[in-house]
Amino acid sequence: MIASFDIAVVGGGIVGVATAYKLQLAYPDHSIAVIEKEKRLADHQTGNNSGVIHSGIYYKPGSYKARLCVNGRRELVQFAQDYNVAHDICGKVVVATERNELKQLDAIYQRALDNQVEDVRRINAAEIKDLEPYCAGIAGMQVGCTGIIDYRAMTERMAALLEGMQESSRIFLDHEVVDVIKDGERTRLKTKRGDIEAKYVVFCGGLQADRLAMKAKVDLDMRVLGFRGDYFVLSEEGRHKVKNLIYPVPNPEFPFLGVHFTRMVNGEVECGPNAVFVFKREGYNKTDFDLKDTADALAYPGTWKFFAKHWRYGIEEYRRAFSKQLFLKTLQKLIPSLEMNDLSEERAGVRAMALGDDGNMIDDFKIEYKDNCIHVLNAPSPAATACLAIGEEVRKMASDYFKLD
């Protein structure tokens, strides 16, 4: 027997669950299915990121990212307060350690003002020391509205609320969608554990977003690449050297923020991540390899164009991935007193990065629709922070294009 729903959301990460939650709030009489291929929600990008509530200081004014991050952050924090999700608005410092970083620091500060990010101020070297006594910098900015949160707990809380709102709605775990079949006015989602059909479908596939779109016959001008980020956890002896969050001034020529220090809600401190291309989209170990994933990535012309633009940084990231000493040296730019025995357990996450045919990273959220389906094709950081705002954006699209009532 085929399970039938009004709306199906494919993907049980925080964006997929937030989207389903927003749709259920807006349409309480509609039955909604969330379909996740893993045995637990939030098992990939959501459950393996650094847990930062981003402020919105980095993003191009007027972009999806800027607008949805700032609005989404405020809604996220309110939700966490209302439903007792572990979080802390502890603030962060962005630190310049060299004079050639000051121009970029000025640009980030101006973006913060343009994006109407509250509680942001420039600080000098002495003020950096007041906030983070072990951190060395010549100038910086304090972002008071940045925080930390348990994103997995956030996802699970929204899922529980969703199921509680409508008795016909359901979370399907361990149901990998292997094919998408248009069947009249409905769409059938074939999974390894039976078929699920719905009148409308929203795809929030994260690392698998492009593949799910291709199953639904969407013509794409992008592909998803996976980049692993390695983290170290500071030992108990080294943990006192970080009070909250410490970020470097990001290199504008490289599409990642650089290694940073993050106090987690459980009291641990993570430092990282680097960013290395993976030969398996969901490969969390340094030697993981999947022939199909590798072939797909290397057959895409945009991949080679991206490598050509960033090969110097890529080589440096790979060197650091396999050298704890080099990783430590990078961290010592911010905290010079950090020592090898301050770095203990190592962890990793994999982020989805959407590349255009021209080899440029698609820097903004990308949401498209076709027939009775909406596809969230690109939702990189700060997607977790912006999850409720993204969900609301999808709800508006669903209302407009699906004529939901």
Query: Strand pairing of 147-149 and 87-88?
Result: antiparallel
22-39 pLDDT tens trace: 999 999 999 999 999 999
C-alpha 135, offset from chain centre:
26
Quick one: pLDDT at residue 174? Answer: 97
Rounded mean pLDDT of the chain?
95
What is the residue extent of each domain of the chain? Answer: 1-86+145-221+357-405
Peptide bond into 250 cis (omega under 30): no
C-alpha 124, offset from chain centre:
31
Choose the CATH number for 1-86+145-221+357-405 among 3.30.230.70, 3.30.70.100, 3.40.50.300, 3.50.50.60.
3.50.50.60
Other CB atoms within 10 A of residue 237 CB: 11
Quick one: pLDDT at residue 226? Answer: 95
DSSP string, 362-386: --S-EEEEETTEEEEEE--TTTTTT
**Contact 356/221 with Cβ under 8 angstroms?**
yes
Mean pLDDT of 224-242: 95
Which residue, among 34, 52, 256, has the nearest Cα to 162 in the 3D structure? Answer: 34
Torsion of CA 58, 60, 63, 64, to 10 degrees: -20
What is the C-alpha separation between 238 and 233, in angstroms, rounded? 9
Geometric angle at alpha carbon 282, from 352 and 51, rounded to 5°: 60
Quick one: pLDDT at residue 255? Answer: 65
Other CB atoms within 10 A of residue 247 CB: 24
What 8-state DSSP symbol labels residue 289? B
Task: Report whether pLDDT(264) > 80.
Answer: yes
Q: pLDDT grade, residue 50 (50/70/90)?
A: confident
Sort 291 into a burial class: Cβ within 10 Å, 0-12 / 13-18 / 19+.
exposed
| Token code pair at residue 224 | 């998803």
Q: pLDDT grade, residue 235 (50/70/90)?
A: very high
